[in-house]
Amino acid sequence: MLQSAKMIGAGSKDQKATLNFKRNGKIQLSVQCKSFVVRPERLSAQNATAIIYFDNDSIYHPSLDFKYVNKDRQVSLIIDNSTGMSMPFFNSFHKVDMYVDGVYWKIDDPLMELKMISGAGESKMWLESENLFSDDRFRQLQGLSDYNPLQLIYKYNKSYGDVIYSATLAQMLGVAESEAKSLMIFLANKGFLTYDAETSSAVAKDKVVYYLEAKTEKIDYDKIEISSVISAKPNAKLNLLNFDLDMEGVSRVFLSDTQAVWVTPENQQIKLKKNRDFEFSGKVHAGRSDFFGKKFEFIYDQFK
């Protein structure tokens, strides 16, 4: 469809329009949406799904503002915080949920930059392990309600199937549909659902069942969060050659609160690798002991 100096590239009712960016003959980034706006100098889309591929893993987000500027050959994938949606990027390679405002990639460069754009001065990006759990968070989700919302989502899936529709959820809960939508957005922003605003529907992440089982101590869990607080620089850079994530502004990483184990990286830098393994130099605090050194490695599966 041609509209003055721009063209609209639209998908069909059943098939979204798709734009793929390749490196070395393989799809590195796929962007899917209802329609793209095509101008001579740029491509853009709203409420777009983005998937960054690496072998059999990916980084995924279901609702982003997409832009490609031809002059700079740069892609930007940005969360529109004005909509009230702040879902994390779901990262199956590092096995973390990534709370970051934007991903920027000059497509001739093997590095993607991750950074915050909201507010001024220092900005905080943080990652949460897929297996993170805390009683405090579980109680905060419930608030003053009689039931935890995760239990309600679990009940919905058992009764109505995998796709959660706001109208059906409202009927099940006996509330207005707007209240059901608010609950779905709230849980999506916490990383428990992927929410589609166009269809008012959502799909539960494995994290829902995981939290319920961790609460009843049926499975093990961790409390790994990694925060990056920095100004005037990207919070992290993703290397597309090996998917290492180099993070800046990391002052401390807690590994075990019960055993008082944490690390303090030198120059506030760590390199996050597959499955929450990471490398760093600096200090390891364990109980009453401190260890200093170079090229430490944390191995998640062995938790050491």
Q: Is the pLDDT of residue 116 over 50?
A: yes
pLDDT of residue 86: 86
Given CATH 1.10.3720.10, say whether it is the number of domain 135-215: no
pLDDT of residue 6: 57
Domain extent listing, the chain: 2-126, 135-215, 225-298
Q: Is the pLDDT of residue 24 over 50?
A: yes
End-to-end CA distance of the chain: 57
Give the whole-number percent of the chain exceeding pLDDT 90.
77
Q: Is the pLDDT of residue 4 over 90?
A: no
pLDDT of residue 120: 55
140-158 pLDDT, tens digit per residue, is: 998 867 789 999 999 999 9
pLDDT of residue 176: 96
pLDDT of residue 231: 86
pLDDT of residue 204: 96
231: left (phi over 0), alpha (psi -120 to 50) or beta: beta
Across the range 196-203, mean pLDDT stands at 90
> Which CATH number is 2-126's, of 2.20.28, 3.30.2300, 2.60.450, 2.60.120?
2.60.450
pLDDT of residue 3: 46
Whether the full predicted model's pTM is greater than 0.95, yes or no, is no
| Cβ neighbours of residue 133 closer than 8 Å, sequence gap 6 or more | 210, 211, 214, 215, 221, 222, 223
Give the confidence band of 10 by pLDDT, cuts at 50, 70, 90.
low
Residue 17 sits at φ, ψ, to 5 deg, of -70, 140
More confident site: 134 or 238? 238
* Strand 89-91 with 102-106, pairing: unpaired
Same topology between domain 2-126 and domain 135-215: no
85-108 pLDDT, tens digit per residue, is: 789 999 999 999 999 999 999 999
208-267 pLDDT, tens digit per residue, is: 999 999 998 899 899 999 999 998 889 999 999 999 999 999 999 999 877 889 999 999
118: left (phi over 0), alpha (psi -120 to 50) or beta: beta
